[in-house]
Amino acid sequence: MIERPIYLSQLIRKKENGLIKIITGMRRTGKSYLLFQIFHQHLLSSGVDESHIIELSLEDDTSIEYRNPISLGKYIRSRITDDKMYYIILDEIQKVSAVPNPYIPEGDNITFVDVLLGLMKLPNADIYVTGSNSKMLSSDILTEFRGRGDEIRVYPLSYREFVSAYSGDSRNTWSEYCTYGGLPLILSKKTHEDKSQYLLSMFDTIYMSDILSRHKISNDKIVLDDILNIVASSIGSLTSPLNLSNVFKTEKKHPITDDTVAKYLEYFIDAFILSKAHRYDVKGKKYISSPAKYYFTDLGLRNARLNFRQQEETHIMENIIYNELLIRGFSVDVGIVEVYSKENDKTVRKSLEVDFVVNKGSSRYYIQSAFSVSNPEKKMQETNSLRRISDSFKKIVVVSERIVPWHDENGILFVGIEQFLLDEESMNW
């Protein structure tokens, strides 16, 4: 059993809060397992009677009757027989089809949204739903519920979760995670061929298929593939739809507008395949709309796109840190620090990059991903932007090697990547 303590704690915290809990995230990250196994077991251990847990997997043939929203509502209400709290867990809710209103045939159709909003009004009903990315994305469903939904985003396994479930040689854990990522089922695959085939099949049969189906794209699959491959080759690099459009014109000999590229990038973000990190001017305290950085939600999927050819640990490490920060609940931007210097009696402006500006509530951290700071020159280079930031928020450099965490004379914390990922308190050392 793979423990998912971050998400279980969120479910516990949001339990019985009067809202519909919507579990989102890319396919095959373990949303169903989280609800039907981990959360179910928590409810039982908390004293909830089995009869007060109403579960349906709506993609199963045994549940086809309840793909009719009216039948679904009637069934759930029939199971609620006393005043105690009932926990209603519905998986793949998008399988519930819209049907005509039997009382107003010419009126609006009845959908699962109507059913869930009706059930939500029951004082002893606590509702949890998941849905596939092809028809029910977080942006859509939260809009549908008009402020009455509460999202819990599930990511692939963090490195800490991966280590806890990995059964192979512990000396290979880091390289396995960097290469094959954190989709839970990857842990059951034994050979490189099995793992790579699984990851490639996820793209062909699920992720790309979802996007093509959802957005009714019939002719541009090659363009989508090319955009994804270009982004996969340049994780950690600033880019923009205009830059990508120019690549198509000059290298692919295929004109495509930057507006179309931007639209397709949003499709990948909506499907949770990519995440976009905006640029933030630390001193000017303002956002810069373009360019931005794109990161893969799962590194295994990224590597499979490139047939495992580009294994640059610097970029992979940066992507893993970015994902970890999102998992920990931070908002993450790419920072820049504007500095001015005199060169030949002229004032020259330079933009120094801070890999991540990280915020949660009133807390902020500045984080630099550095493969190594093995000599004074490299250390000065990697901390150049951090030393130019005058506020008192924590500054951290994450390096690839195992080290004893230490602070330099500027108060900057240096910590190894595995230590950073395995200890959630590492940011506060």
Residues 23-42: tens digit of each pLDDT: 989 889 999 999 999 999 99
- Name the β-bridge partners of 293: 277
Residue 399 lies in a domain: no
- Token pair for residue 277? 């990190």
Tell me the pLDDT tens digit for each residue of 112-144: 999 999 999 999 999 999 987 555 555 566 667
Residue 233 lies in a domain: no
Q: What is the pLDDT of residue 170?
A: 87
Residue 105 lies in a domain: yes
Q: What is the pTM of this model?
A: 0.93
Q: What is the pLDDT of residue 106?
A: 86
Domain count, the chain: 1
Residue 63 lies in a domain: yes
Helix (H, G, I), strand (E, B) or coil at 28: coil
- Name the β-bridge partners of 414: 397, 406
Looking at residue 39, its amino acid is F
Give the CA distances from residue 131 to residues 9, 67, 329, in Å, rounded to whole numbers and listed in that order.
21, 13, 22
Whole-angstrom distance, CA of residue 278 vs CA of residue 294:
9
Q: What is the pLDDT of residue 94?
A: 86
Task: List the domain range (segments joined by +) for residue 125.
Answer: 5-153
DSSP strands (E only) in 52-118: 53-57, 86-91
Q: What is the pLDDT of residue 204?
A: 85
Give the CA distances from residue 112 to residues 25, 67, 116, 265, 328, in Å, rounded to whole numbers and listed in that order.
20, 9, 6, 29, 31
Q: What is the pLDDT of residue 139?
A: 57
Tell me the pLDDT tens digit for each residue of 45-102: 999 999 999 999 999 999 999 999 999 999 999 999 999 999 999 999 989 999 999 9
Which CATH number belongs to the domain containing residue 64 in this structure? 3.40.50.300
Q: What is the pLDDT of residue 53?
A: 98
Residue 407 lies in a domain: no
Residue 207 lies in a domain: no
Residue 65 lies in a domain: yes
**How buried is 417 (Cβ within 10 angstroms: 0-12 exposed, 13-18 middle, 19+ buried)?**
buried
Residue at token pair 């190894």: 416
Q: Which residues of the chain have pLDDT under 50?
A: none
Residue 317 lies in a domain: no
